[in-house]
Amino acid sequence: MKIYIIAPAVAYEADTLVTDAVLNIEGRFAVMASAAVTTVAALFSGAFELKLCDEQIEDVDFDDPSDIVAISINVAQAQRGIEIARAFRERGKTVILGGPHVSLSPETFEGMADCMVIGEFETIAAEVTRDLVDGKLKPRYQGTQADLAEAPIPRWDLYPNDRAVTGVIQTSRGCPFECNFCDVIQYLGRKQRHKPVPKVVEEAQVLYDHGYRTISLSDDNFTVNRKKSRALLEGLAAWNGRDGRQPVQFSTQASIDLARDGELVAMCSEAGLREIFVGIETSDEAALVESQKRQNLRRDLVADASAIVSGGVVLLSGMMVGFDSDGLDCFERQLAFGMALPVVNIRVTVLVAPVATPLFDQMRHDGRLVGDGKMALLPGAGLLTNIIPKNMTRQQLAEGARWLVCELYDPDNAISRFERVASILKAPAEHLVPTSGKAALGTGSAGILTLIRESARDPGAGRVIEAVSELSKKRPEISRDLTNMLAMYLNTYRSIERAGQSEQVL
C-alpha cells in the first residue's frame, strides 16, 4: 500500500508581507525542513511504501498513484490543506487529515476527509496502520499525549534535504505559560514532556549526516525547565564540533526570562545554541497583562535582550500589535521599541484569536469575531486579524502593521541594528567556528548564497549587504552569525519589496 504524506504550503494572503516559509529566490528552498511529514512517516509500519511532499519545496503531484493521502495541517496551512484534500477526494483517493489545527478544531474539517486523526499520532499509529492494512479505516481516531522517550527518528531519508536550510528536532512538547492568544497548550498541554538527551543527540547526528549545519530545537519554551535544558545543553556541547565534525548552529525559542540566568545563557553559547526566538511582543505592560504574558512583566526588556546577546546568543523577536490597549499611536511606539532592541530580525504580527484559545472564546462571547465563521476559524497568516480591534478598524490595524514592518526593515534602520548586535555579540567558542567550504555551510547554503547575490541588485539591500560585509571583516569570528541574520533580513526585505510592487491592496 502506498501513502503520500503532504505538508501543505502556507496560504499567504494578499496582505502578507513577511514569510520565512520559502526563501524569496528563483528555485524553492525551505527555511525550515518539515518535521511534520518526516515524523508521521516514521510512525507508519514497513507495510507501506511512503512518499513525502513538502509543498514549500515542490508542487503537490495530484496524479500520484498512492492509495492513501495523509495531510498534516497547522493553522497557517489549513486553507491550503483543505484545497489539497478536496482535490484528491475528487480523484477517488482516501484522505487522512491530522496535525495541530485538526486537533484543535475537528468540526472545521468534518466531511473534508475520509479520516481525521485528532491528538498526537504516536499513541494511535499502530491502530491506524493496522486498520489501513485490514481495510477498516475508521472516520476518526483520538490520540493522547505521547511519551517522547519512545519517539522514532523521523524519516529524513525520504525528505529533499538539499532544498532546506534548517533541520528540526522536537525536544519537548507543552508549555507551562498561559498566554491567552497561544494555542500550543490547548493541544499539547501545560506540562512539558521532554525527549531524552541521547535521543536528541542521535537525531542531531542523523541530520548532520544528511548535510544540515543549522538545526532548530523545536521546543515551545526551551529554558522554562532549567534542569532539563542544562542537561540537554551539556549533551549538545559534548557532541557539537567534536570528533572531526563541523560545528552546527542550533536555534530554538524561549522566553525573555532567560536573561535572569547568565550561566544558562553561557551554556547555550558553549553548546552552539546561537539563535533564540523570543516573543517580546510589546513594551506596553497593559497589553502584557491583558494577554496574560506575565513572564515579560516588570522587566527592562531592552536590557534583558542585551544581556542575552552579550552572552553569545543572537535574538529573533516577535512583536505584536492590536491589543485592546493599543491605540493608533502603538505603531510608532513599537517602532521606537524595536529600534532600541539588539535584534535585527523582528517578526511583526497582528493579534489574532486562534480557535480553542481563551482569546477566541472571549472574542466569540463579546461578538468580536469576524463575520462568516470561516475567517474566524481559519485566521491564516496575513496582517488582517480575525477579531474586531477595540480602538481602530481592522483596516487601520493592517495598514499600521504594514507600516511598522516597512520601517523596521528600512535599510538604514536595519544597518543600525546590525551594528548594535555586532558591537555586543560574544564570539562562539573556537571549536564552534566553522572552517571554509560547502561542508561547513551545509545543506541549503546554495539558497542563502543565491539570495544574497540576487538581493545585491537592489540598492537598499545592497547597502545592507555592504554594511554587513564590513562588520564581518571587523569581527570575522561572528561572520556566520551575521550571514544568517543577513539572509533572514533579506528574505523579509524582498517580501516587502514584492508587496510594494504589487497592485493588490488591503
Task: Give me the pLDDT at residue 288, please.
Answer: 85
Phi, psi dihedrals of residue 33, rounded to the nearest 5°:
-65, 155
Secondary structure (DSSP) of 185-212: HHHH-SS-EE--HHHHHHHHHHHHHTT-
Q: Are 24 and 494 in contact (CB under 8 A)?
A: yes
| Residue linked to cell 491564516 | 380
Residue range 322-346: mean pLDDT, rounded: 96
**Does any domain span residue 305?**
no
Phi, psi dihedrals of residue 30, rounded to the nearest 5°:
-75, 135
Sorted by sequence, the CB contacts under 8 Å of residue 63 that are 6+ apart come out as none
**Does any domain span residue 245?**
no
Task: Give me the pLDDT at residue 472, please.
Answer: 96
> Cα(8)–Cα(137) distance, rounded to whole angstroms?
23
Sorted by sequence, the CB contacts under 8 Å of residue 278 that are 6+ apart come out as 253, 254, 255, 256, 258, 305, 308, 315, 316, 317, 318
> Cα(214)–Cα(174) distance, rounded to whole angstroms?
23
Residue range 238-262: mean pLDDT, rounded: 93
Neighbours of 411 (CB within 10 A): 18
Task: Give me the pLDDT at residue 504, please.
Answer: 42
* Selection from 282, 504, 218 nearest residue 382 by Cα: 504
Phi, psi dihedrals of residue 72, rounded to the nearest 5°:
-100, 125
**Does any domain span residue 353?**
no
Task: Give me the pLDDT at residue 410, please.
Answer: 97
pLDDT tens by residue, 186-240: 666 667 889 999 999 999 999 999 999 999 999 888 988 899 999 999 999 999 9
**Does any domain span residue 197?**
no
**Does any domain span residue 28?**
yes
Q: Enter the C-alpha cell of residue 466.
A: 555592504
pLDDT above 90: residue 5: yes
Q: What is the radius of gyration, based on Cα positions, of the chain? A: 22
Domain span at 103: 2-148
Q: Enter the C-alpha cell of residue 487.
A: 539572509
Q: Enter the C-alpha cell of residue 202.
A: 542521535
How wide is the angle at C-alpha 375 spanned by C-alphas 499 and 220, nearest 5°? 80
Q: Enter the C-alpha cell of residue 9.
A: 504550503
pLDDT above 80: residue 386: yes
Of the pLDDT bands very low, low, confident and very high (cuts 50, 70, 90), residue 13 is very low
pLDDT above 60: residue 14: no
Region at 312 (left for phi over 0; alpha for psi -120 to 50; beta for the rest): left
**Does any domain span residue 120?**
yes
Give the mean pLDDT of the chain. 89
410 against 13, higher pLDDT? 410
Which of 93-102, 158-167, 415-424 is most confident?
Answer: 415-424
pLDDT tens by residue, 153-196: 999 999 999 999 999 999 998 777 777 777 776 666 667 889 99
**Does any domain span residue 111?**
yes
> Cα(368)–Cα(353) distance, rounded to whole angstroms?
10
Enter the pTM of the model. Answer: 0.91
Residue range 436-450: mean pLDDT, rounded: 73
How wide is the angle at C-alpha 405 spanned by C-alphas 402 and 406, nearest 5°? 85
Question: What Å distances lie between residue 263 and 310, 311, 362, CA to CA?
Answer: 12, 9, 40
Sorted by sequence, the CB contacts under 8 Å of residue 379 that are 6+ apart come out as 75, 352, 353, 354, 385, 386
Task: Give me the pLDDT at residue 447, please.
Answer: 85
* Selection from 326, 249, 338 nearest residue 287 by Cα: 326
Task: Give me the pLDDT at residue 190, please.
Answer: 65
Q: Determine how β-strand 30-32 pairs with β-strand 164-170.
A: parallel
Task: Give me the pLDDT at residue 177, please.
Answer: 72
DSSP 8-state secondary structure symbol assigned to residue 9: P
**Does any domain span residue 381?**
no
- Give the chain's domain count: 1
> Cα(94)–Cα(85) distance, rounded to whole angstroms?
9
CATH number at residue 17: 3.40.50.280
How wide is the angle at C-alpha 463 spanned by C-alphas 474 and 449, nearest 5°? 75
| Residue linked to cell 492568544 | 181
pLDDT above 50: residue 505: no
Task: Give me the pLDDT at residue 503, please.
Answer: 39
Task: Give me the pLDDT at residue 380, please.
Answer: 54
Residues comprising the chain, all counted: 506
